[in-house]
Amino acid sequence: MSGDGPDPARYRLRLFIAGSAPRSRRTVENLRRICTAHLADRFDLEVVDIYQQPEIARADRIVAAPTLLKLAPLPTRQIIGDLSDEARVLRGLGLPSAGEL
Asked if residue 13 lies in contact with residue 70, where contact means CB atoms within 8 angstroms, the answer is yes
> Does residue 8 lie within any of the structural domains?
no
4 within some domain: no
pTM: 0.86
- Domain span including residue 74: 18-93
Q: How far apart are the first and last CA of the chain?
A: 24
Q: State the CATH number of the domain containing residue 41.
A: 3.40.30.10
> How many domains does the chain fold into?
1
22-70: per-residue pLDDT in tens? 999 999 999 999 999 999 999 999 999 999 999 999 999 999 999 999 9
- Residue 30 covered by a domain: yes
Residue 56: inside a domain, yes or no? yes
